[in-house]
Structure 1
Amino acid sequence: MDAHAEALRSDPYTSNGTFSATNRPGCYELLSRMWIRATDGLVADRSKGDEWFGRLWKLHTETTRFYHTAVHLEEMLHFFRVLEERGCMSGVSETERQAILLSIFFHDAIYESRSSSNEENSAQLFQEFCRDTKSPDAVVNTLVDEFILATKTHMTSDNHTVALATFLDLDMAVLGKHLESYISYASMIRREYDFIPHDTYCQKRADVLEAFMGNRVFGTKVMYDAFEERAKENVRYEVDLLRAGSIPKKLVSVMFI
């Protein structure tokens, strides 16, 4: 494992077990700073940009969310910065980097666990943002649409650009957490789907996770080297629990950052 992958694998964010923004000092500030970068050159009226940031923050701190929160965005933005700082995004243009950042902010903007059209609805919200702010960059807008919709399946493909593979890897980085923190993540997913009966949840969740077992989870080399093995181990651990009729039910003692 090279130094870049090892740094990612040992990153303290892989030991974070809280997904509540109220328990994460600095979360709002980081998202606010990265939002300014994401919208640089696209939003002429900064007050309009601030208005949209407030709207996205409100969506990602809804009380019905337990994992798909502002902290999920924070973690994706953190790993984006780490990859960038370590020179692991040399194949991603500045335009594509802006598209990745915007996709991070919008990909879970609409999240209703009972809905099967969250991705489409989130993409529609992004297009509303483009119209409202008169965003002029058609290339960025098209890329963001593509990236958001790709999260519907999360299947890696040789046809993916480096930029798309990077974005999807950032979204899947949670699977490569240390086991204690992975279990915390899994328990939060259950809370978002608490309307599904226990046995049905165990079966359906296990079926979804097993799809990852037969495919490559991470599309970029550095994220694959850092997290693929641990992600597969984590997923197998949860699948075994689910097949035995058990669901991770509570947060465990983990390092919060």
Structure 2
Amino acid sequence: MTLVEGWVSAACGAGATAGQEAVVAAGEALLVRWAEPQRHYHTVDHLAAMLSIVDTEGGSDPVRLATWFHDAIYDPRSPGDANERESAALARTELADLGVPEPVGAEVERLVLITAGHVVAPGDGDGELLCDADLAVLARPPAEYDAYAAAVRREYAHVPDELFRIGRAAVLQSLLDLPALYRRPALAERWESPARANLRRELNALTA
């Protein structure tokens, strides 16, 4: 199944009433966003990796749609959680245009907003899965983690080294301060320790 075919399946499964052509066009337009030139990590590869985890873990259609939208708007120069807020608003509008029921659109919007800080309320299974998939890269082998970190640096090439080190260190520390990086027990068992080791290693390099 191609990415767009997966998008169509999720949108229709979530209740989209628009015609097939409109649903396909919406998915293709999202892929264009994910391929923008300012992206080096937040790319189609990141989207595909997340969708693979969501599918493997039996995620719902709203989680699949939230995956598509969670970085649909991505400008490294935007302040704070602006990208997540704008992506969430885009999700609400686009899904409404496709005839997805309002409660589903609201849920997708809510899920996208969670990715700003990756703080999930107890019992929020969909939020847990989306955030676990989004942070999966942190648990990759050191060389792959380093490639991810280098790609993030390229996205922020406009930021001077000293300011980048300060900002990146704050992000890494905020992740380390989370009670748990991963919420799903099977994923946490595999990913928590290597992810924290990678984060500490990068943080130490930035602050040495």
Aligned sequence identity (%): 29
1:30 aligns with 2:2: yes
Deviation sequence 1:206-239 (CA, Å, 0-9, x none): 1210122232111211211110001000101111
Q: How does 1:1-257 map to 2 (within 5 A)?
A: 30-40=2-12, 41-84=15-58, 97-116=60-79, 117-135=82-100, 137-158=101-122, 160-215=123-178, 216-244=180-208
Kindly indicate whether the alpha-carbon contact (under 8 Å) linking 2:95 and 2:105 is maintained by their aligned counterparts in 1: yes
Could you list the runs of 5+ residues in structure 1 that have no partner in the other structure? 1-28, 90-96, 245-257
Aligned AA for 2:5? R
Q: What TM-score comes out, normalization by structure 1 length? A: 0.75
Q: Distance in 2 between matches of 1:207 and 1:98?
A: 33
Could you list the runs of 5+ residues in structure 2 that have no partner in the other structure? none
Q: Distance in 2 between matches of 1:57 and 1:211?
A: 30
Instruction: Kindly report the root-mean-square deviation, in angstroms, between the aligned alpha carbons of the 2 structures.
Output: 1.4
Q: Distance in 2 between matches of 1:115 and 1:75?
A: 24
Aligned AA for 1:236? R
Q: Distance in 1 between matches of 2:110 and 2:62?
A: 10
| Aligned-residue offset at 1:33 | 2.3
Q: Which is richer in helix?
A: 2
Kindly indicate whether the alpha-carbon contact (under 8 Å) linking 1:66 and 1:188 is maintained by their aligned counterparts in 2: yes
Aligned AA for 2:57? L
The aligned length equals 203
| Aligned-residue offset at 1:162 | 1.1
Q: Distance in 2 between matches of 1:241 and 1:38?
A: 41
| Aligned-residue offset at 1:191 | 0.5
- Describe the SS at the equivalent of 2:57: helix
| Aligned-residue offset at 1:156 | 4.0
Aligned AA for 2:151? M
Shifted more, 40-49 versus 170-179: the winner is 40-49
